[in-house]
Amino acid sequence: GATISIRQLRKTYVMGRVRVHALAGVDMDIPAGSFTVVMGPSGSGKSTLLYLLGGLERPTSGQILVDGKDLSAMDENALALYRRSTVGFVFQQFNLVPSMTALENVAFPMRFSGIRTGERLKRAKDLLTQVGLATHVKHRPTEMSGGQQQRVAIARALVHNPRLILADEPTGNLDSVTGYSIMQLLSELHQQGRTVMVVTHDPRMLRFATHTIYLLDGRVVSRDDFEKASALPE
Ligand code: ADP
Ligand code: ADP
């Protein structure tokens, strides 16, 4: 798995005259092979943290070290390589291509990798088998349940065998039983040695966590302070 160190991380969005401090100076150290759950109310900066860690957005200031390499110092090419080689992203909305079968969706990110078509399809089939969808390779997203679609999305995230899995509310669109099976699948990826970070509102995810991060207003807070704030009326 990947090791993460974050130092004084800030992300400020500027909209006209309004500045939003989505992350207002965040520090954390996440060891390789950990399963981190990020908790926090809506707007506390959880997605921003994942997007910065995934190299999908750039920080306003501060450092994000993944295996000792600073993402904020990378040029666009290096960052693109980092996203491809190191990170697997899982979203709440699955983000599958509707016109493609499960197999095509998983094989798709390998299209420019220089891997032969036959090998790509074989690897995609293996990954779908690994997530329990061997019998659904020819199904399109509309022909699958939400949980099955999320499994396809997880298989796709594994295509380049990433050391870091980032999941943004992966169970947010699923019923609670299906959601739990997706949590278990993420836990298996962790047990295989990957570093996993999950943003979630579901406290059941905590039983899989080796580390928990509580965010409030773009800052990391203690569990005590988080619970005090959660008990206050909105
Ligand atoms: P660590 O950084 O803890 O040594 P790695 O990031 O090298 O772990 O590997 C994470 C997981 O991915 C492990 O379960 C490892 O077996 C697996 N893995 C790493 N590289 C490959 C590969 N090229 N093909 C298949 N599995 C791999
Ligand atoms: P969470 O995931 O915890 O709900 P986010 O990271 O999505 O929080 O957002 C943190 C804050 O940053 C919120 O106030 C949100 O409105 C703001 N924000 C997030 N993305 C953008 C953006 N692209 N442009 C402007 N403001 C944004």
Q: pLDDT tens digit string along 132-188? A: 999 999 999 999 999 999 999 999 999 999 999 999 999 999 999 999 999 999 999
Instruction: Output the CA torsion 126→127→132→134 (10° steps).
Output: -40
The answer, yes or no, to whether any atom of ligand 1 lies below 6 A from the CB of 56, is: no
Identify the pLDDT of residue 16.
93
Ligand showing the shortest atom-to-Cα distance for residue 49: 2
Q: Residue 233: is its pLDDT beyond 90?
A: no
Check residue 114 and give its pLDDT: 85
Q: In this structure, which ligand is nearest to the CA of 160? A: 1
C-alpha of residue 180 to centroid of ligand 1, in Å? 25
Residue identifier of the C-alpha nearest atom 21 of ligand 1: 161
* Residue 212 to residues 55, 130, 150, Cα–Cα distance (Å): 21, 27, 23
Question: Residue 55's closest CA among 31, 35, 29, 75?
Answer: 75
Q: How far apart are CA 232 and CA 229, in angstroms?
A: 5
**Strand 211-216 relative to strand 219-221, pairing:** antiparallel
Confidence tier at 31 by pLDDT (50, 70, 90): very high
Mutation test residue for ligand 2: of 47, 48, 52, the one with most atoms within 8 Å of CB: 48
Tokens of 139: 């199904």
Furthest C-alpha separation in the chain: 57
pLDDT score at 27 = 97
Confidence of residue 234 (pLDDT cuts 50, 70, 90): low
Q: How far apart are CA 27 and CA 213, in angstroms?
A: 11
* ipTM exceeding the 0.90 mark: no
For the whole model, what pTM was predicted? 0.87
3-state secondary structure of 31: coil
197: closest CA among 7, 10, 1, 42? 1
Percentage of the chain modeled with pLDDT above 70:
100
Residue whose CA lies nearest to ligand 2 atom number 12: 22
